[in-house]
Amino acid sequence: MIGKHIRQIKRYKEIVSILVKYGFGYIVRDVGLFHLLSLPKQLISDFSGNGNEQSSIGERIRSMFEELGPTFIKLGQLLSLRTDILPEQIADAMRDLQDHVTPIDSQTIRMIILNELGAPVEELFADFDEKCIAAASIAEAHRALLKSGEEVAVKIRRPNIENIIEKDIEILLDLASLVEKRYEWARTYQISAIVEEFAQAIRNELDYRAEARATEKLHDFFKDNEHVIIPGVYRNFSTHRILTLTYIHGYKYDRLIRDKVETIDNKIICERLVRSFLDQALICGVFHGDPHPGNLFFFPENKIGYIDFGQVGYLNEAMKRDFGDLIIGLMKGNTEMLYHTISSMTILPDDLNERQFKADLDLLREKYYQLPFKDVHIGRVIHDVFGVTKKHRISIPKNYTLLGKALITLEGLITQIDHDISILELAEPYGQRLFFKRLNPNEITRRILMSGYDVVDNGIKIPALLRKTLTRLYHGKTRVEMKLPQLEFLLAKVDRAANRISFSIMLLALSIILASIIIGESFGTRSLLSHVPILGIAVTLFLFMVMIVLFSIFRSGRF
């Protein structure tokens, strides 16, 4: 049944049709959305889950998301990070998602700039290139020259994209709820929570003020580092729909791979690339969430430039410390440290088999214990850690999965430039620094004071909470919540059985009536009705009613 908040039935039907097209009709059937398909599609569709066998499931999901449009492309990009819940094959396919968009026409661009910045293009810029330098499903970028002579990149959000995405999010939330009611795996991995996380992430990406803040924070963090370039933000030329940044020139990654650039030392550039990223994550606490080749520039004298901070991750002090402890626990072969660190980093399920979990951590520890850093690949470490958490249905927060994906991306980049660089070797000093920071007397004192404050604060609240609870019990206002995730599925089964019984009873009743008419015609006396073709009328009515009942039951998808 479609949720009461779903108002875009046309879009809902489109999504359901595309699910069936790519071989996921069994989900449409199981969650009760069969009736949204037109009758011809109901008749010809395959609901077995065996369709499109020529393509892998990852390829089918990727193609399906691309056809469904920008919201689903962004969802796929988020899911590509979730190797803690997705099979590697599907996660890899999601990384290859492509935007198929046409550039915004120049008249619309000019109108958006006028509405957002309050002046026409000619008054704001000395020059504005109407041909975009990059186009994606949510925005496109144009090169421009300010009146002051500064070269800038103007990022403009596509018209009406916010409404399109909000409608799709509403549908996704409803679908996630239906899937969780039907499938155990969906409840285990909290699909609704993943969609909520995605909704928050894409809303942040739509608002360029959030991207501006992240860019400014990193720009200020690296302002005294002559080897790292972060674009500046032009606030007077930026709104929630437009973001104007310093235009960055430099060598692209493929030039570094293809040609030997005399002014760039590949070993030094790799080390600085890794250190600049670790500085972002483990010192600044804000890091680039997608450092792929298109978002990096390289300059003479081994300088690095980052662009496009639409996807960023955040690590607070506790998260930085936990990440450092995870690496130290693996390298030192300390299973208890690994267990407590993962417990702190993640959300453990109530039914966790603690003994088996520790046994799996022992195997993981043995795999990396006493191995030289140069022989340990960060991508393999992250993959193995996520493998253990997935096995035990442990949920990993988004910022850790984003950090893991970014590190894997970086390792892939530097491996192609210099095979001898080890991310873990470069990360070791950061882990040690975070570890010794915890032993600093000032830090210990601060944590003791904060813990004491929490104890006192919670102690003060206990009498009030106890009084409130007892009052509600006394007045009989205590509410007990019960979750019956299979209830709707059971009701659907009952509905199918009822439809079949109704159909059988109707057939029986009509058969009795028809038999009575035939007997009456054969042995009865002649009357006025003798001249009326009762048998033909009865058969016609019988067939007509059967068709109506069959059509109604078939349309419900519950027969």
E strand or H helix that includes residue 435 = helix 423-438
Q: What is the Cα–Cα distance from 404 to 386, expressed in whole angstroms?
A: 9
Q: Which residue has the higher pLDDT, 447 or 104?
A: 104
How remote is the C-alpha of 359 from its chain's centroid? 31
Give the residue from 455, 484, 513 where a domain finishes: 484
Q: Which residue has the higher pLDDT, 334 or 477?
A: 334
Residue 406 lies in a domain: yes
Residue 539 lies in a domain: yes
Q: Which residue has the higher pLDDT, 249 or 493?
A: 249
Q: Which residue has the higher pLDDT, 113 or 191?
A: 113
Q: 100 to each of 69, 70, 203, 242, 443, how far by Cα in Å?
A: 9, 9, 21, 21, 51
Q: How confident is the model at residue 117 (pLDDT cuts 50, 70, 90)?
A: very high
Residue with tokens 């980093």: 345
Do 509 and 476 share a domain, yes or no? no
Do 480 and 495 share a domain, yes or no? no
Do 400 and 469 share a domain, yes or no? no
Query: DSSP E strands: which ranges in 122-273?
Result: 125-128, 134-135, 139-146, 151-157, 228-229, 242-246
Q: What type of residue sits at position 248?
A: I
Please report, rounded to a whole number, the percentage of residues in the chain having pLDDT higher than 90: 21
Residue 149 lies in a domain: no
Q: What type of residue sits at position 508?
A: L
Mean pLDDT of 432-443: 68
Residue with tokens 């819940």: 85
List residues bridging with 228 in a β-sheet: 304
Minimum mean pLDDT range among 62-66, 77-81, 126-130: 77-81
pLDDT of residue 184: 80
Do 374 and 328 share a domain, yes or no? yes
How remote is the C-alpha of 521 from its chain's centroid? 70
437: left (phi over 0), alpha (psi -120 to 50) or beta: alpha
Q: Which residues contact 291 (CB under 8 A, 6 or more apart)?
A: 277, 306, 406, 409, 410, 413
pLDDT of residue 186: 81
Minimum mean pLDDT range among 57-61, 426-430, 547-551: 547-551
Residue 286's φ and ψ, nearest 5 degrees, are -125, 125
Do 459 and 491 share a domain, yes or no? no
Residue 3 has pLDDT above 50, yes or no: no
pLDDT of residue 444: 66
Q: How confident is the model at residue 480 (pLDDT cuts 50, 70, 90)?
A: low
Residue 388 lies in a domain: yes
Q: Tell me which residue of 308, 309, 386, 304 sits closest to 345, measured CA to CA.
A: 386
Handedness of CA 447, 452, 455, 457 (dihedral sign): negative
Do 411 and 460 share a domain, yes or no? no
Residue 522 lies in a domain: yes
Counted residue by residue, the chain has a size of 559
Give the residue from 484, 512, 543 where a domain finishes: 484
Q: What is the Cα–Cα distance from 20 to 64, expressed in whole angstroms?
A: 10
Burial call 373-386: b when 16+ CB within 10 Å, e when fewer? eeebebbebbebbb
Burial call 482-509: b when 16+ CB within 10 Å, e when fewer? eeeeeebbeebeebeeebeeebeeeeee
Residue 276 has pLDDT above 90, yes or no: yes
Please report, rounded to a whole number, the percentage of residues in the chain having pLDDT higher than 70: 77
Do 338 and 411 share a domain, yes or no? yes
Q: How many domains does the chain have?
A: 3
Residue 484 has pLDDT above 80, yes or no: no
Residue 379 lies in a domain: yes
Do 349 and 407 share a domain, yes or no? yes
> DSSP readout, 455-470?
HHHHHHHHHHHHHHHH
Do 370 and 399 share a domain, yes or no? yes
Residue 68 near residue 15 (C-beta atoms within 8 A): yes
Residue 466 has pLDDT above 70, yes or no: yes
Q: What is the Cα–Cα distance from 364 to 331, expressed in whole angstroms?
A: 11
Handedness of CA 279, 285, 286, 290 (dihedral sign): positive
Do 411 and 518 share a domain, yes or no? no
Do 418 and 451 share a domain, yes or no? no
pLDDT of residue 285: 92
pLDDT of residue 529: 47
Give the residue from 380, 408, 439 where a domain finishes: 439
Residue 245's φ and ψ, nearest 5 degrees, are -130, 160
Q: Which domain holds residue 402?
A: 315-439
pTM: 0.72
Do 465 and 495 share a domain, yes or no? no
Residue 387 lies in a domain: yes
**What's the mean per-residue pLDDT of the chain?**
80
User: pLDDT tens across 307-329, in order?
Assistant: 999 889 999 988 888 888 887 77
Residue 183 lies in a domain: no
Q: Which residues contact 297 (CB under 8 A, 6 or more apart)?
A: 229, 248, 249, 250, 251, 252, 304, 305, 306, 307
Residue 527 has pLDDT above 60, yes or no: no
Mean pLDDT of 171-192: 84
> DSSP readout, 252-306?
-HHHHHHS--TT--HHHHHHHHHHHHHHIIIIISEEES---GGGEEEETTTEEEE
Could you give the residue ranges of the DSSP H alpha helices within 2-56?
A: 9-21, 25-30, 39-44
Q: How confident is the model at residue 478 (pLDDT cuts 50, 70, 90)?
A: low
List residues bridging with 314 in a β-sheet: 286
Residue 365 has pLDDT above 90, yes or no: no
Minimum mean pLDDT range among 247-261, 374-388, 518-532: 518-532
